Structure 1
Amino acid sequence: MSFNMYVPTRFVFGNGRLDELHQQKMPGKKAILAISNGKSVRENGVLDRTLEQLKKAGVHAAVFSGIGANPTKTEVMEGAKFARDNGCDFIVALGGGSVMDAAKAIAMMATNNGDLWDYVGGKTGKGQPLQRDPLPIVCITTTAGTGSEADQWGVVTNEETNEKIGVGGYDSTFPVLSIIDPELMVSVPPKFTAYQGFDVLFHATESYISTFASAMSDMYALTAIENVGKYLARAVKDGNDMEAREGMAFANTLSGVVMTVSVTTAEHSLEHAMSAYHPELPHGAGLIMISQAFHGFFIEKHACDDRFVRMAQALGMKDAEKPEDFLTALTKLQEVCGVADLKMSDYGITPDEFDKLAANAREAMGGLFAANPCEMTHEDCVEVFRKSYR
């Protein structure tokens, strides 16, 4: 048994616990409050509630609302300039995975010179070490999706080079505090509840079949999978089902923790290539599209049969006994959640792109291929796209 684990974030979990933000120790006095460029946190009152909580804590806040659904390098650099111009000494990320991911990169660039891609590995990134510690980060998650409130990584797209790459990875890019209040997730529409929920699931399944898995990561992964199997369909059907929202919020945080102990596989590399070229594609939707063919590849290779059986059981198929049962359980969950028939073509993806996408996945995030339970060649990746295409 061998693993490394470091999860320094203070989690404040439970319904209504946003109202306890002012009771927590703040890492500074002037915050850049990062939100998305959408309307939800303004319209549902969460932004005003957060500003009031920060005021009670003696913190002045400047709101930066320039973050899109797939955060870009340009947005990060604008956020970093905003933080410097306003003299901010920490960052509060209020939103879903995109906002939290961008916040980590903004925290890095608010204190370091140059361009974000100077500090990014993979393809055109220069891979330089940070010269100064990032701003401290506080996360208030409004979705059950990426687990970004629990880990040290974010994902950012360089729109000039069509690279979607993980950034951060430092001890100092872990959030110091994360508020996980399932009540903030009630307003997420069913479609996005499903997309985000499957992102949670695949963080856990990929980390479970990963070559970096251990007894410690297995514990988190299987519990996350069990909660997704039990609660995701309910949360999609009825967004006001608070037990289901709680279960998915819990699974989400666990899926973030598991990624700090284990490592996700190349399924994420392949999807990041898809949404790097087609940024309107939601990350979770892209993962759903390729999930059957991707996991099926390892089942056909008998790479880790017992693990697929165990995941099928965790998803709710208690009598599962063969690895193919995982695909059956996965299909059933996708059908119940109304996402079994997603089409790449609806987002402009065409078959003549498959070779380019497969190459981009390896060039931009090739490190995740080492986590695959058996070798996956360029041609294998192209075949995953081909089998997934509709």
Structure 2
Amino acid sequence: MITNFTYFIPTRVLFGAGQLNHLHEQQLPGKKALIVTTSGKSVKRNGTLERVEKQLEMANVEYTLFDRVHPNPTLANVMDASILGKESGCDFVIGLGGGSAMDAAKAIAFAMTNPGDLWDYSFSTTGGKKERIAQPLPIVCITTTAGTASEVDPWGVITKEETGEKSGFFSGESMYPILSIVDPDLMMTIPSQFTAYQGMDAFFHATESVINTKNHIMGEMFALKAIELVAKYLPLAVKDGSDKEARYYMAVANSLAGYYMLCTSAHSMEHSLGGFYPELPHGAGLIMIAHAYYQKFADLKVCEGQMIKIAKAMGVHNAISGQDFVNALDKLIADIGMSDLKMSDFGITKEYLKSCPERTRKVMGGDISADPAELSDMDMLEIYLQSYK
């Protein structure tokens, strides 16, 4: 199919080892920042937060810290932080950390300028679906992980705890960060388990973009290179977190996958799990359902050509079928030590899975209409049950 496209990513990206040191040299979008980070201690323990604060001081920018974002950021996180930011007089927001911190920062920037509750503007099941009143505050992202690519996209994923809705939040081009720093040196201390979860999130962003029926040659260019890099370097980064080359190329792969991201129902299916079980890391949930999900399309032979491209990008040069991709995927998951992930270890029950197909159709994660073949509720339930351990 020959189609036109418009490509506009307004984010200025400083990429490479040591780039955090240049934050103070940039034209920052305000005089006081709300620094948003998670409730974990890593950015404090490894000195990253202190370095960011020092950079802001060198730029004569004041700051207030909100450090209570959950691993799956919640609506309550967003509203609490927006109140703090407004009371403190902050005029821009910095997301410091992984996808959770950056996603939350985007939603907080929106909530600080628009009246009412963030969910009034959400298009999820119980969302108010209102149009925004004002532009969000400017956003700066400093990523410390290679997984979500939130540093180069305009999306945030927020969970409404009362209803278990884990849903994408989007409000147009204004939610792109104006500045992002991707410094692989900040990723060196990520534990191997989380390196694997995050790296596979980036991988699935890319594979879903390639099998997506709305795929475009422009996006495929980014996605296939991301797949190649993850397949080669994620096992090395998991094995040795201090491997600078592996961390560098995983950071490249992550951002490439985010430059053009077209997720399918796989992301919505994971959101149905993570919304009710917030301790489940997003990447872990995606890994759990991956074999059964892609095997379904391989068996149907509905995207053989695209799966063959993915397999070849993963190094299977003689690939001739979608099954070759599924086999390569299984090997990659084994190589990073994730073959034995169990839903039951996170409290997920088989009984809960029965509600997931309906929930999948209601949460915003991926575009179900872009799947290579339409999945019925029974198909989705079969994928969940085959994935259950």
TM range (shorter): over 0.9
Give the drift of 1:365. Answer: 2.6
Superposed CA deviations along residues 92-136 of structure 1, whole A, max 9, x for unmatched, are 111000000011100000111111111110211111111000010
Q: Deviations over 1:172-194 (max 9, x none)?
A: 00000000000000000000000
C-alpha deviation, 1:168, in angstroms: 1.8
Q: Cα deviation per residue 1:255-299 (whole Å; 9 max; x = unaligned)?
A: 11111xxx2000000000101111100000000000011111111
The DSSP-based 3-state class of the residue aligned with 2:252 is helix
Contact kept? 1:298, 1:304, Cα under 8 Å: yes
| 1:46-195 aligned within 5 A | 46-195=48-197
Secondary structure of 1:277's aligned partner: coil
Task: Give the 3-state SS of the residue equivalent to 1:338 in structure 2.
Answer: coil
Give the whole-Å Cα distance in 2 for the aligned partners of 1:177 and 1:236: 28
**Which of 238, 241, 244 is 2:243 aligned to?**
241
The number of equivalent residue pairs is: 387
Q: Distance in 1 between matches of 2:132 and 2:315?
A: 44
Is the contact between residue 168 and residue 365 of structure 2 (CA under 8 Å) also seen in structure 1? Answer: no
1:216 deviation in Å? 0.4
**Aligned partners of 1:331, 1:169: CA distance in 2, in Å?**
36
Match of 1:365 in 2: 364
Task: Find the counterpart in structure 2 of residue 37 from structure 1.
Answer: 39
Which residue matches 1:331?
330
Look up the SS of the partner of 2:150 in the other structure.
Answer: coil
Q: Which amino acid aligns with 2:266?
A: E
Q: CA deviation at 1:169?
A: 3.9
Q: Secondary structure at the match of 2:361?
A: helix
Asked if the contact 1:105/1:116 (under 8 Å) is kept, the reply is yes
Paired letter, 1:339: M
CA displacement 1:223-276 (0-9 Å, x = unmatched): 1001101100000000000000000000001111111xxx20000000001011
Identity %: 49
Return closer, same or farther for 1:169/1:213 CA change in 2, 3 Å cut-off.
farther
Corresponding position: 1:313 with 2:315: no
Separation in 1, partners of 2:222, 2:296: 24
State whether residues 149 and 258 of structure 2, in contact with CA within 8 Å, keep that contact through their aligned partners in structure 1: yes
- Quote the RMSD (CA, aligned, Å): 1.0
**CA–CA distance in structure 2, aligned partners of residues 52 and 127 of structure 1:** 40
CA deviations on 1:354-374 (whole Å, 9 max, x unpaired) are: 221111111123861012111
Matched to 1:237, the amino acid is: K
Aligned residue for 2:353?
Answer: 354
Q: Which runs of 4+ in 1 moved over 4 A?
A: none
Asked if the contact 1:122/1:366 (under 8 Å) is kept, the reply is no
Alignment TM-score, normalising by the size of structure 1:
0.98
Counterpart Cα distance in 2 of 1:339 and 1:155: 24
Q: Structure 2 CA distance, aligned partners of 1:221 and 1:205?
A: 7
Alpha-carbon distance between aligned partners in 2 of 1:377 and 1:7, rounded to the nearest angstrom: 35
Q: Does residue 19 in structure 1 map to residue 21 in structure 2?
A: yes
